Chain A
Amino acid sequence: MTTSGPSGQPAPSRRALLAGTAGVVGLAIGAGATEAANALTRSSGPDTGPHVASPGEELMVEHGVLKRVLLAYRAIGDRLAAGDTPPVGAVADAANVVSSFIESFHEGLEEAYVFPRVRADHPDLIETLLVQHDKGRHLTRTITQLAADGLTTAKSRSQLALAVAAFVRMYEPHEAWEDTVVFPALRSSSTQRTLDLLAERFAELENRQFGDAALTTVLDRVTGVEQQLGIADLSDFTP
Chain B
Amino acid sequence: MRVWSSGSGRFHSGRPGKARVALIAVPLLLAGCGSSAALAGDRLMPLRVPARVEVRAASVDGLGTVLVDGTGHALYLFPPDARRHVTCVGACAGTWPPLVVASRTGVHAGPGALGSELGTVRDPNTGARDVTYAGYPLYRYAGDVAPGTANGQALRLNGGPWYVLTPHGDPVLTQPPYTVDGSA
B-binding residues in A (CB < 8 A): 99, 103-113, 115-117, 127, 130-131, 133-139, 141-142, 145, 159-160, 162-163, 166-167, 170, 194, 197-198, 201, 205, 208-210
Kindly state whether residue B51 has any CB partner on chain A within 8 Å.
no
Contact in complex: B34, A210 (CB < 8 Å):
yes
Give the one of A127, A162, A167, A209 with max B CB within 10 A.
A209
Given contacts A127-B145, A137-B155, contact A162 B180 (CB under 8 A): yes
Closest-CB distance, A239 to chain B (whole angstroms): 32
Contact in complex: A108, B90 (CB < 8 Å):
yes
**Can you name 25 A-B pairs with beta carbons within 8 Å?**
A99-B157, A104-B92, A108-B90, A108-B92, A109-B91, A111-B142, A112-B94, A113-B46, A127-B145, A130-B143, A130-B145, A131-B145, A134-B142, A134-B152, A138-B178, A138-B184, A139-B179, A141-B155, A160-B180, A162-B181, A166-B181, A166-B182, A198-B44, A208-B90, A209-B90
Task: Report the separation of the CA atoms of residues A109 and B45 in the bound assembly, to the nearest whole angstrom.
Answer: 10
Majority SS of interface residues in chain A?
Answer: helix
Give the one of A112, A197, A210 with max B CB within 10 A.
A112
Give the one of B94, B159, B176 with max A CB within 10 A.
B94
Choose among A136, A145, A205 the residue that contacts B178 (Cβ–Cβ < 8 A): A145
Kindly state whether residue B100 has any CB partner on chain A within 8 Å.
no
Q: Which chain A residues border B42 with CB–CB below 8 Å?
A: 201
Contact in complex: A108, B182 (CB < 8 Å):
no
Closest-CB distance, A62 to chain B (whole angstroms): 11
Choose among A99, A113, A160, A209 the residue that contacts B44 (Cβ–Cβ < 8 A): A113
Kindly state whether residue B156 has any CB partner on chain A within 8 Å.
yes
Task: Report the separation of the CA atoms of residues A205 and B159 in the bound assembly, to the nearest whole angstrom.
Answer: 15
Contact in complex: B91, A138 (CB < 8 Å):
no
Q: Which chain A residues border B141 with CB–CB below 8 Å?
A: 134
Please give 7 more A-B residue pairs, beta carbons under 8 A apart, in addition to A107-B91, A108-B158.
A104-B157, A107-B94, A112-B90, A113-B45, A133-B142, A136-B182, A137-B157
Q: Which chain A residues border B156 with CB–CB below 8 Å?
A: 99, 141
Kindly state whether residue B103 has any CB partner on chain A within 8 Å.
no
Q: Which residue of B lies closest to A109 (CB)?
A: B91
Q: Beta-carbon contacts of B140-155 to A below 8 Å, as 1s and 0s?
A: 0111110000011001
Choose among A110, A127, A208 the residue that contacts B35 (Cβ–Cβ < 8 A): A208
A-binding residues in B (CB < 8 A): 33-35, 37, 42, 44-46, 90-95, 141-145, 151-152, 155-159, 176, 178-182, 184
Contact in complex: A166, B33 (CB < 8 Å):
no
- A-B CB contacts (within 8 Å), total count: 111
Contact in complex: A130, B142 (CB < 8 Å):
yes
Q: Which chain A residues border B92 with CB–CB below 8 Å?
A: 104, 108
Q: Which chain A residues border B145 with CB–CB below 8 Å?
A: 127, 130-131
Task: Report the separation of the CA atoms of residues A110 and B90 in the bound assembly, to the nearest whole angstrom.
Answer: 11
Contact in complex: A112, B180 (CB < 8 Å):
no
Q: Which residue of B lies closest to A138 (CB)?
A: B179
Closest-CB distance, B91 to chain A (whole angstroms): 3
Q: Which residue of A lies closest to B34 (CB)?
A: A209
Q: Which chain B residues border A134 with CB–CB below 8 Å?
A: 141-144, 151-152
Q: Which residue of A lies closest to B141 (CB)?
A: A134
Given contacts A197-B44, A209-B35, A210-B34, contact A139 B90 (CB under 8 A): no
